[in-house]
């Protein structure tokens, strides 16, 4: 297939492109190259004839429509987004512009393009929207998110993704665009921007800096290795039922403090220092509106499409730690630009007078 991937220079998009190209697909990567992008993530495919890149900002409707016409895709996989919850607390409007308006621009472009296709190609066309489990809000100690859980987003990021999901659904219902939506749990793995929890912990530890843990570290996340997510996305694209939502999860719940401690002990083995890395852990003021627990019931994608995560959490974490140890040339320039290690997202509304 000829795939148009948005956000392909980011963490998950680049893993998806590497997999898609390896599977024999041609890929057109549309990315605005924001701070979160890193073209080096795609150095292994950059020179292949099956790979094309276009620097396009989804907030620009005309440029987006041009790119879609130029790419002539069989399917669009939409990953481009502002993705960091803490940044969404400090500056929510960027999230509305890219995640909501940008998605609407892409949907319009996809709709016009699909309408121009001959019959068979029009029927076969797919629009896969990649979203997050954060749209469902927070769970207590028990229960799992299913595809029918109510939307209760708590952060501006989650609200912007929830909005984009609604737009995708509406373009499917109203205009017959053959849409699919996936909602996935927290990803981790190589090439993740250092502002996210796992690379932040690894790189803070290696620099001898404080390893900040929000609140008491009690919050629980379900972790999925990024390559498993990429596999799931191709499975949904190839065999998912049009109009359906598929939850994707790692079946690997972990409290933040346990995750951080595990990473520290892996580093103690792989790169021993004069004292255990866990001594660098410091508990800091919690994120406003910090969701307590996310957990995914990934039964639907398993039963319908035969997908399940293949990387156990400890194996994936060990691979990730080793990747950051082996790839200082990837992360050093980001840290030297001081991007990705500063504390963000502490602003909340002023308390009532």
* Alpha helix ranges (H) inside the chain: 11-22, 61-71, 85-90, 92-95, 103-115, 119-124, 156-175, 197-207, 226-239, 256-270, 299-305, 313-326, 328-336
Structure tokens at 304: 């319908």
Nearer CB in complex with ligand NAD: 189/277 = 189
Residue closer to ligand NAD by CB (options 43, 282) is 43
The DSSP code for 139 is: B
Catalytic residue among 51, 157, 214, 324: 157
Binding stretches for ligand NAD (CB under 6 A): 6-7, 9-13, 31-34, 36-37, 57-59, 79-83, 98, 102, 130-132, 161, 184, 186-187, 193
Q: Please count the CA atoms within 13 angstroms of the CA of 49 that sit on its side-chain side.
A: 0
In the bound complex, which residue of the shown chain has the CB atom lying closest to ligand NAD? 10
Name, in order, each residue with C-beta under 8 angstroms of 153's C-beta and a sequence gap of 6 or more: 134, 135, 136, 137, 159, 161, 162
Place of tokens 């605005």: 32
CB of 350 to ligand NAD, least distance (A): 29
* 43 burial via Cβ count (<10 Å: 0-12, 13-18, 19+): exposed
Nearer to ligand NAD, 100 or 321 (CB): 100
123 is catalytic: no
Strand pairing category for 253-255 and 220-225: antiparallel
Closer residue to ligand NAD in complex, CB, 21/130? 130
How far is Cα 249 from Cα 185, in angstroms, rounded to an integer?
5
Sign of CA dihedral 5, 9, 11, 17: positive
Alpha-carbon distance 234 to 240, whole Å? Answer: 9
Question: Nearest approach, Cβ of 133 to ligand NAD (angstroms)?
Answer: 7
Catalytic residue among 57, 82, 86, 133: 133
- Cα distances (Å, whole numbers) of residue 8 to 3, 48, 57, 215, 237: 11, 15, 12, 33, 16
Supply the minimum distance, in Å, between the C-beta of residue 214 and ligand NAD. 16
Tell me whether residue 157 is one of the annotated catalytic residues: yes
Q: Which is nearer to ligand NAD, 153 or 280 (CB)?
A: 153
Give the active site residue among 82, 86, 134, 231.
134
58 vs 313 by CB, closer to ligand NAD: 58
Write down the least CB distance from residue 13 to ligand NAD, Å. Answer: 5
d(CA 194, CA 24): 31
**Shortest distance (Å) from residue 343 CB to ligand NAD:** 18
Closest distance to ligand NAD from the beta carbon of 275 (Å): 31
Q: Is 279 part of the annotated catalytic residue set?
A: no
Which residues does the annotation mark as catalytic? Answer: 133-134, 157
């Amino acid at each position: 297939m000829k795939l148009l991937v948005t956000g392909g220079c980011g963490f998950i998009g680049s893993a998806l492109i590497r997999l898609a190209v390896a599977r024999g697909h041609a890929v057109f990567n549309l990315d605005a190259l924001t701070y979160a992008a890193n073209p080096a993530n795609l150095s292994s495919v950059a020179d292949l004839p099956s790979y094309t890149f276009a620097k396009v900002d989804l907030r620009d409707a005309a440029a987006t429509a041009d790119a879609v016409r130029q790419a002539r895709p069989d399917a669009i996989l939409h990953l481009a987004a502002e993705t960091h919850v803490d940044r969404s607390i400090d500056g929510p409007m960027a999230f509305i512009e890219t995640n909501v308006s940008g998605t609407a621009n892409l949907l319009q472009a996809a709709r016009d393009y699909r309408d121009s296709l001959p019959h068979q190609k029009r029927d076969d066309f797919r629009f896969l929207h990649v979203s997050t489990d954060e749209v469902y809000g927070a769970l207590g100690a028990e229960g799992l998110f299913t595809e029918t859980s109510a939307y209760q987003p708590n952060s501006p990021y989650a609200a912007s993704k929830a909005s984009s999901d609604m737009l995708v659904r509406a373009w499917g219902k109203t205009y017959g665009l053959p849409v699919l939506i996936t909602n996935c749990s927290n990803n981790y793995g190589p090439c993740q921007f250092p502002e996210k929890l796992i690379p932040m912990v690894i790189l803070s530890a290696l620099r001898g800096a404080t390893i900040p843990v929000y609140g008491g570290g009690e919050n629980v996340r379900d972790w999925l290795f990024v390559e498993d997510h990429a596999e799931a996305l191709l499975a949904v694209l190839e065999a998912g039922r049009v109009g359906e939502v598929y939850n994707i999860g790692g079946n690997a719940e972990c409290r933040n403090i346990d995750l951080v401690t595990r990473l520290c002990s892996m580093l103690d083995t792989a790169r021993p220092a004069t004292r255990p890395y866990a001594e660098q852990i410091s508990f800091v003021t919690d994120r406003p509106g910090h969701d307590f627990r996310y957990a995914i019931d990934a039964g639907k994608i398993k039963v319908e499409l035969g997908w399940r995560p293949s990387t156990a959490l400890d194996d994936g974490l060990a691979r990730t730690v080793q990747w950051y140890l082996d790839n200082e040339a990837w992360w050093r320039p980001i840290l030297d630009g001081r991007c990705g290690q500063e504390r963000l997202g502490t602003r909340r509304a002023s308390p009532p007078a």
